[in-house]
Amino acid sequence: MRHRHRHRHQEQGVALVVVMGLLASAVVVGAISVQSALVEERLASNYRAATLAQMRAEIAAAQAVASFSELVWGEDVLAIDSEHPNRWEDIISWEELVAHPLATVLSSSCEHNSCLFIPIERDGQPWVMALGAVIAVDSTDGETLLAQSLPVFINVKEGEVSQQTKATVVWH
């Protein structure tokens, strides 16, 4: 009888260890799943912001084509050489672009002044660079740049006979 009692006690101890191991495994799997879901949510959010920024650059490009004949290339024009491509962020920051005297910020088309175009000189020719951004406004931190587009370069040639506008658009 004593032998049975001891054997039953050992079985209960083994069952407890097995249940605790299964519970620990379930907790680890749950934690990994939550972490994976958080990473996927961040990736989706970043992709959405990048896509929205690029759409805003295309809005600015369309506006630049429409107002190309009214633009002025002055002394402050930015020069870009396509032989030595730099990222435009390495040349000038978003804040500097918004404040640039030749920049046209589209406040009515894009919220938080997140669309702009600026006359540039590309390989010695007059072009326009259009950019978009996603900007978060926070009451404590002010504005935070979440995403910025790749530049859209536009070269417009006026048609002589038909007065049609021909635009060359290059995405980078």
Rounded percentage of the chain residues whose pLDDT exceeds 70: 79
| pLDDT at residue 162, as a whole number | 46
> Model confidence over 76-125: pLDDT tens digits?
888 877 776 666 666 678 888 888 899 999 988 788 888 999 998 888 88
| pLDDT at residue 110, as a whole number | 84
Mean pLDDT of 151-161: 72
* Cα separation values, 98 from 35, 75, 89, 148, Å: 38, 17, 13, 13
Q: The pTM is what?
A: 0.74
Q: What residue has token string 């009214």?
A: 70
Q: Which residues contact 64 (CB under 8 A, 6 or more apart)?
A: 71, 104, 117, 128, 130, 154
Q: What residue has token string 């260890």?
A: 17
Task: Judge contact between 154 and 61, C-beta under 8 A.
Answer: yes
DSSP state, 117? E
